[in-house]
């Protein structure tokens, strides 16, 4: 079998490797020439994927990358793994899906399977993508070509998360489309979970991430409430999770980050309006999580005030730029919001992240592009009036931080196992 995977990012590249390891010949398609060149030369640009893994697969001839979408003519299946961000009005932006559909449609052959993996609202696959593919190819979905949706379930930074081991939800446009999609994924994934339609599969992915968003909002709200009562929410959660039934631990933080939890719930919120439905839980969770950076900065203000210092004029180091621990992915990271808020209040802001040596250009925070991570040593750390822990990377020595820093504001309970002077560490 020969297939094409469009989009060679955090979802597409691991999927390329997994299919190739299963004996499938894979063409990775991307409009970014740097990614194409990197893969063909056996070089990884994603931290948790080793270059050696790419080199081995490329050497077998089962993986090559290109920006030539005419190669779709020669494949049996096309898997789409492109971004689905929100626009400036927090509305779904499926332009990457539409553009990809337009790029592959002229080369679509009879019997080819097209699978969308990008997270989106119910109806995207069987309405929006289908329309683009049909108009551009002259073929009909379910009759001339197959169409399906199978949501990605990547968990970057989790060593126990393997593509082949994660059950794969699949919804087809027709029973024949579903059968064709299952035949494809059996070559790479061990457990398949077929559902009745593309829309059910799309809704499944949204439920998974809405579930997390709502529960994170709950513990974020409890963090603020319990702090006012002098209670440590982390101690409460650790005690509660000893219950062997009826409880699942979620943990507070400085705000949501990544390309899923801060974005995906609003896809359903937007689509629900079309059906005159209100999504109050989702919107309230969004309000609570979005307000967390302001709460954290207020705690930084309190911590500095306790040392007779104002935010204005203070030097503040944000520890951790990536949106989650032990990865180099800074998409939608709350650290950017924290840095913006602190700078707006007159602080001199820097960051340290062992996984992000230099900030790359981003859509929402272009002014930070090119900023380099502060070198980790006693002189540098001690020179800041406060250190704000936003992401708790395992590569950081927190005992050194406790020994060197003047003041620490901890949003991740990272200092729990360290020794430090009374009054030095503030929970946020």
**Cβ–Cβ < 8 Å for 398, 419:** no
| Number of separate helices (H) and strands (E) present in the chain | 13, 13
Average of per-residue pLDDT across 314-321: 98
- Give the residue among 32, 103, 24, 22 at the shortest CA–CA distance from 65: 32
C-alpha dist (Å) from residue 396 to 57, 350, 393, 428: 33, 16, 6, 19
**Cβ–Cβ < 8 Å for 53, 46:** no
Confidence check: pLDDT of 261 > 90 = no
The pLDDT confidence band at residue 18, using thresholds 50, 70 and 90, is very high
The pLDDT confidence band at residue 414, using thresholds 50, 70 and 90, is very high
CA–CA distance, 36 with 142 (Å, rounded to integer): 32
**Cβ–Cβ < 8 Å for 336, 361:** no
Burial letters for 186-214: b for 16+ Cβ neighbours within 10 Å, e otherwise? eebbeebebbebbbebbbbbbebbbebbb
Mark whether 260 is an active-site residue.
yes
Confidence check: pLDDT of 145 > 80 = yes
CA–CA distance, 104 with 75 (Å, rounded to integer): 11
Topology (CATH level 3) of domain 221-427: Rossmann fold (3.40.50)
Confidence check: pLDDT of 161 > 90 = no
**Cβ–Cβ < 8 Å for 100, 136:** no
The pLDDT confidence band at residue 159, using thresholds 50, 70 and 90, is confident
In SS3 terms, 125-190 reads as HHHHHHHHHHHHHCCCECCCEEEEECCCCCCCCCCCCCHHHCCEEEEECCHHHHHHHHHHHCCCCC
Q: Kindly give the interhelix angle for 12-21 and 51-60, rounded to the nearest 10 degrees.
A: 50
**Helix, strand, coil percent values for the chain (each to nearest 5):** 40, 15, 45
Among residues 16, 198, 260, 407, which one is catalytic?
Answer: 260
Residues whose CB is less than 8 angstroms from the CB of residue 425 and which lie 6 or more positions away in sequence, other chains included: 402, 408, 409, 410, 415
DSSP 371: P
The pLDDT confidence band at residue 47, using thresholds 50, 70 and 90, is confident
- Give the residue among 201, 203, 167 at the shortest CA–CA distance from 185: 167
Residue 104: predicted pLDDT: 97
pTM recorded for the entire structure: 0.92
CA–CA distance, 392 with 372 (Å, rounded to integer): 19
Average of per-residue pLDDT across 196-214: 96
CA–CA distance, 288 with 296 (Å, rounded to integer): 13
C-alpha dist (Å) from residue 82 to 8, 11, 13: 8, 8, 11
Residue 387: predicted pLDDT: 98
Tokens, residue 70: 């005419």
Query: Of 156 and 306, which is predicted with more confidence?
Result: 306
- Give the residue among 287, 376, 300 at the shortest CA–CA distance from 338: 300
**Cβ–Cβ < 8 Å for 139, 106:** no
Residue 309: predicted pLDDT: 97
Confidence check: pLDDT of 420 > 80 = yes
Confidence check: pLDDT of 144 > 90 = yes
Average of per-residue pLDDT across 236-262: 92
CA–CA distance, 206 with 203 (Å, rounded to integer): 5
User: Using one digit for the tens of pLDDT, what is the confidence trace for 97-127?
Assistant: 999 999 999 999 999 999 999 999 999 999 9
DSSP string, 74-100: G-SEEEE-----B-TTS-B--HHHHHH
> Rounded to 5 degrees, what angle do the CA atoms 20, 200, 95 make?
70
The second-level CATH assignment, the architecture, of 2-196 is: 3-Layer(aba) Sandwich (3.40)
Computed on alpha carbons and rounded to an integer, the radius of gyration of the chain in Å comes to 23
Range(s) of the chain covered by CATH 3.40.50.720: 2-196, 221-427
């Amino acid at each position: 079998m020969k297939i094409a995977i469009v989009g060679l990012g955090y979802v597409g590249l691991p999927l390329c490797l997994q299919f190739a390891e299963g004996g499938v010949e894979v063409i990775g398609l991307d409009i970014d020439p740097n990614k194409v060149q990197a893969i063909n030369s056996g070089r990884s640009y994603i931290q948790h994927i080793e270059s050696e893994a790419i080199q081995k697969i490329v050497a077998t001839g089962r993986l090559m990358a290109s920006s030539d979408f005419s190669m779709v003519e020669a494949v049996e299946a096309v898997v789409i793994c492109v971004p689905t961000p929100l626009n400036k009005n927090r509305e779904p932006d499926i332009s990457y899906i539409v553009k990809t559909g337009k790029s592959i449609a002229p080369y679509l052959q009879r019997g080819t399977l097209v699978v969308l993996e990008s997270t989106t609202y119910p109806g995207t696959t069987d309405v929006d993508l289908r329309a683009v593919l049909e108009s551009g190819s002259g073929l009909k979905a379910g009759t001339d070509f197959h169409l399906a949706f199978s949501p990605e379930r990547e968990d970057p930074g989790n060593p126990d998360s393997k593509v082949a081991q994660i059950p794969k939800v699949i919804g087809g446009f027709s029973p024949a489309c579903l059968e064709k999609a299952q035949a494809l994924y059996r070559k790479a994934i061990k457990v398949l979970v077929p559902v009745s339609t593309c829309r059910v599969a799309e809704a499944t992915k949204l439920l998974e991430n809405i579930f997390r968003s709502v529960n994170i909002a709950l513990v974020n709200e409890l963090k603020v409430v319990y702090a006012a009562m002098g209670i440590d929410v982390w101690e409460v959660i650790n005690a509660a999770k000893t219950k062997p039934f009826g409880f699942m631990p979620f943990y507070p933080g400085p705000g949501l980050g990544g390309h899923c939890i801060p974005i995906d719930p609003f896809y359903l919120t937007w689509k629900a309006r079309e059906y005159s439905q209100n999504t109050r839980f989702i919107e309230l969770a969004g309000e609570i999580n979005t307000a967390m950076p302001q709460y954290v900065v207020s705690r930084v203000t309190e911590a500095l005030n306790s040392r007779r210092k104002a935010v204005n004029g203070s030097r503040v180091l944000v520890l951790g730029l990536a949106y989650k621990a032990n990865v180099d992915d800074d998409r939608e990271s709350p650290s950017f919001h924290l840095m913006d808020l602190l700078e707006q209040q007159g602080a001199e802001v820097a960051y340290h992240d062992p996984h992000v040596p230099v900030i790359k250009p981003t859509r929402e925070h272009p002014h930070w592009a090119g900023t380099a991570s502060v070198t980790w040593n006693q002189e540098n750390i001690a020179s800041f009036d406060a250190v704000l822990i936003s992401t708790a990377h395992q590569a950081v020595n927190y005992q050194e931080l406790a020994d060197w820093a003047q003041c620490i504001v901890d949003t991740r309970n990272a200092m729990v196992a360290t020794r430090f002077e009374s009054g030095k560490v503030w929970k946020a």
